[in-house]
């Protein structure tokens, strides 16, 4: 066991997740880089270790119950407490299909990762979060997870109409509040963040922000002090509307 502060970032072998893992390691944390693909995860870990950062691989498929249980057991055998959990893993299947044509199997697949994944991972590592002194949980949401923004014609998010992805992020915001209410008496803060329009594989690298810029809010909320908020939704410009 080690006394160093510990963090787990899911979906961290590339993109925003990789940038979050790097940022938390640069802040002095020992980071578990969650990746469902072992080879890609090992390559990502090697890149960060080459920079002198304390990072290790945790093979983890958030959509697979058995995988999550195994990963949680491995963590429990290696660390005594988990100070930060960033539920970053997410998928976007199709941006062109209208809601009336979305296949149910595709919608279920998106929810399995984007919604049920964060729930099952948080539940699985909760004993480790409770063992920490004031743990932090960050849910990677999206601007389209805000009902206010997607119905505001002045917002760029109002032009987006992706049934499965959008609804999964709206639901994730509700999940954030639920966990925050339960865990606040234990000193655990749970917040959702939106990274902005980031260049990632998720959107065909069409975004305007770098992964590092998109990771900034998640890193900031993962490192907030005792005076920081809980049950909130935050972006680069501060608190966002639900």
Q: What is the DSSP string of 11-34?
A: S-SSHHHHHHHHHHHHTT-EEEEE
Measured between its terminal Cα atoms, the distance across the chain in Å is 40
Residues 2 and 30 sit within 8 Å (Cβ to Cβ): yes
Pick the CATH number of 6-235 from 3.60.20.10, 3.40.50.720, 3.40.50.300, 1.10.579.10: 3.40.50.720
CA pair distance 191, 51, nearest whole angstrom: 29
Which portions of the chain are predicted below pLDDT 70? 1-2, 199-208
Nearest to 29 by CA among 57, 8, 44, 51: 8
Q: Where are the domains of the chain?
A: 6-235
For residue 117 the two structure tokens come to 């994944």
Instruction: Report the relative pairing of strands 30-35 and 84-87 from DSSP bridges.
Output: unpaired
The catalytic site residues sit at: 165
The model's pTM is 0.95
pLDDT tens for residues 59-111?
A: 999 999 999 999 999 999 999 999 999 999 999 988 899 999 999 999 999 99
């Amino acid at each position: 066991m080690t006394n160093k502060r510990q963090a787990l970032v899911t979906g961290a072998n590339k993109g925003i997740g990789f940038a979050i893992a790097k940022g938390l390691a640069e802040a002095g944390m020992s980071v578990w880089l969650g990746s469902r693909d072992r080879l890609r995860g090992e390559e990502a870990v090697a890149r960060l270790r080459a920079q002198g950062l304390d990072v290790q691989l945790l093979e983890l498929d958030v959509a697979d119950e058995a995988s999550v249980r195994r990963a949680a057991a491995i963590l429990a055998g290696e660390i005594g407490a988990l100070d930060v959990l960033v539920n970053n893993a997410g998928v976007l299947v199709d941006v062109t299909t209208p809601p009336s044509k979305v296949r149910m199997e595709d919608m279920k697949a998106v929810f399995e990762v984007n919604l049920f994944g964060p729930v099952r991972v948080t539940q699985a590592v909760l004993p480790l979060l409770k063992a920490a002194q004031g743990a932090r949980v960050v849910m990677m949401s999206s601007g389209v997870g805000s009902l206010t923004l997607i119905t505001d014609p002045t917002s760029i998010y109002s032009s987006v109409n992706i049934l499965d992805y959008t609804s999964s992020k709206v639901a994730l915001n509700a999940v954030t509040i639920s966990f925050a209410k339960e865990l606040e008496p234990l000193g655990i803060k749970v917040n959702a963040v939106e990274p902005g329009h980031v260049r990632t594989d998720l959107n065909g690298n069409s975004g305007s922000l770098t992964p590092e810029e998109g990771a900034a809010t998640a890193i900031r909320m993962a490192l907030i002090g005792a005076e920081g908020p809980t049950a909130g939704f935050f972006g680069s410009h501060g608190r966002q509307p639900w």
